[in-house]
């Protein structure tokens, strides 16, 4: 959590650099291989800066509103990347939203959570967390994931892994209702379920909030970062897809790349919390990000799909369905006791490695 009343220099330079690169591209009318790399670095810097400024605002307004600021910021980035790539790629990218959301769930549920368990267990032997909050998160995540990624394979109004327009609208509403109810429980009615036991040495908890001026500056910079990410993603879309296809990898790898870029800041924050023996904070960050990703991204993309007439491929294939259900089942078991060790972390990381391997070599 930000501790200074002055924003770090890199968080100011990142959006400026992103916009400078965009202006250079627009003026030059083209981009070389090296310039594409610079655009990618600029986009990553803007993503990191956007989440940093969202954290500054979150620390100022406090919980529960801080969590919502960060979730909305990350979801805007994810939706922007998905829509930009779909607009550029056309019919070939109808499954991009599904691949990205599925990748986000697998990265969080196995990669992020597994790494936090492994690192925390290696340092402290055993880590504890509150069962009620984690159980609520997993129940909501399982419901949204199955309704959006598995059920389309078994509906009969439209043949194939698709929803009809009416079904898609219904699932979008249901996803928002589930996520909104979760936020209400987390932020208002049962906030104590999600609060970690804070020690006097917890610097993040006791750091002074930023001033109003700093918070307002972060708000403006956050908007600038998000706008830069949208435009940079649109510019990078052809290069990303061409690189994936040239490598002979399935197009689903593009979804993995998008999810990894978007979730990197949360992953780093969750890992830092686990190293500080605050696994509850790690799980709140990880599972909250997964819920925001699937609970808000699918409705947003569904609205765009209905408005533009796009066809969204949402249903997973048999291999991915098995991995998703296995991940939810194992997460329920490993997070069902309130205690974790390195064993649970290794199990989740093995599932994550299997997901990555079978994505590249299906």
| Residue that wins the pLDDT comparison between 261 and 358 | 358
- Mean pLDDT in residue range 326-347: 93
**pLDDT score for 260:** 83
Query: In whole angstroms, what is the distance from residue 298 CA to residue 282 CA?
Result: 24
| Residue that wins the pLDDT comparison between 33 and 316 | 316
pTM of the full structure: 0.84
**What is the three-class DSSP state of 127?**
strand
Handedness of CA 104, 105, 106, 112 (dihedral sign): positive
Query: In whole angstroms, what is the distance from residue 276 CA to residue 89 CA?
Result: 43
- Mean pLDDT in residue range 342-360: 94
Q: What pLDDT band is residue 66 in, cutting at 50, 70 and 90?
A: low
Q: Which residues contact 247 (CB under 8 A, 6 or more apart)?
A: none
**pLDDT score for 285:** 82
- Mean pLDDT in residue range 238-266: 80
Q: What pLDDT band is residue 243 in, cutting at 50, 70 and 90?
A: confident
**Of 309, 288, 300, 354, the residue nearest 78 (C-alpha):** 300
Q: What pLDDT band is residue 226 in, cutting at 50, 70 and 90?
A: confident
DSSP H helical ranges for 247-278:
252-275
Question: What pairs with residue 116 in β-bridges?
Answer: none
Place of tokens 């609060």: 195
| Residue that wins the pLDDT comparison between 71 and 159 | 159
**pLDDT score for 64:** 55
Q: Are the CB atoms for 81 and 262 separated by under 8 Å?
A: yes
Q: Are the CB atoms for 219 and 57 separated by under 8 Å?
A: yes
Q: Which residues contact 77 (CB under 8 A, 6 or more apart)?
A: 47, 50, 226, 229, 262
Q: What pLDDT band is residue 200 in, cutting at 50, 70 and 90?
A: very low
Q: What pLDDT band is residue 117 in, cutting at 50, 70 and 90?
A: very high
Mean of per-residue pLDDT scores for the chain: 84
Q: Which residues contact 127 (CB under 8 A, 6 or more apart)?
A: 117, 120, 121, 274, 277, 279, 339, 340
Residue 33, pLDDT > 70, answer yes
Query: In whole angstroms, what is the distance from residue 39 CA to residue 228 CA?
Result: 10
């Amino acid at each position: 959590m930000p501790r200074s009343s002055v924003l770090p220099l890199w968080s100011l330079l990142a959006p400026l650099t992103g916009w400078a690169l965009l202006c250079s591209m627009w003026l030059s009318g083209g981009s070389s291989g090296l310039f594409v790399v610079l655009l990618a670095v600029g986009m990553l810097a803007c993503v990191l800066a956007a989440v940093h400024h969202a954290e500054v605002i979150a620390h100022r307004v406090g919980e529960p509103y801080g969590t919502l600021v960060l979730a909305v910021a990350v979801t805007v980035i994810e939706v922007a990347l998905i829509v930009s790539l779909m607009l550029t790629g056309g019919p070939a990218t109808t499954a991009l939203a599904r691949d990205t959301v599925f990748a986000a769930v697998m990265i969080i549920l196995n990669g992020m959570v597994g790494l936090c368990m492994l690192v925390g267990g290696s340092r402290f032997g055993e880590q504890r967390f509150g069962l009620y909050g984690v159980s609520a998160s997993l129940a909501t995540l399982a419901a949204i994931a199955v309704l959006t990624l598995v059920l389309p394979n078994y509906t009969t109004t439209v043949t194939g892994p698709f929803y009809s327009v009416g079904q898609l609208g219904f699932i979008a509403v249901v996803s928002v209702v589930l996520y909104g109810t979760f936020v209400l429980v987390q932020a208002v009615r049962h906030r104590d379920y999600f609060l970690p036991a804070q020690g006097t040495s917890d610097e993040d908890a006791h750091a002074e909030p930023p001033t109003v001026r700093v918070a307002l500056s972060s708000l403006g910079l956050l908007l600038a970062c998000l706008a830069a990410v949208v435009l940079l993603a649109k510019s990078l879309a052809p290069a990303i897809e061409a690189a994936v296809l040239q490598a002979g990898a399935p197009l689903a790898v593009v979804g993995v790349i998008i999810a990894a870029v978007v979730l990197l800041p949360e992953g780093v924050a969750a890992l830092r919390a686990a190293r500080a023996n605050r696994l509850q904070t790690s799980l709140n960050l990880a599972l909250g990000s997964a819920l925001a990703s699937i609970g808000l991204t699918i409705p947003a993309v569904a609205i765009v799909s209905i408005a533009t007439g796009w066809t969204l491929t949402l249903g997973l294939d048999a291999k991915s369905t098995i991995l998703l259900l296995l991940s939810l089942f194992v997460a329920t078991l490993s997070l069902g006791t309130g205690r974790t060790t390195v064993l649970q972390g290794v199990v989740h990381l093995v599932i994550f490695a299997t997901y990555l391997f079978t994505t590249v070599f299906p």
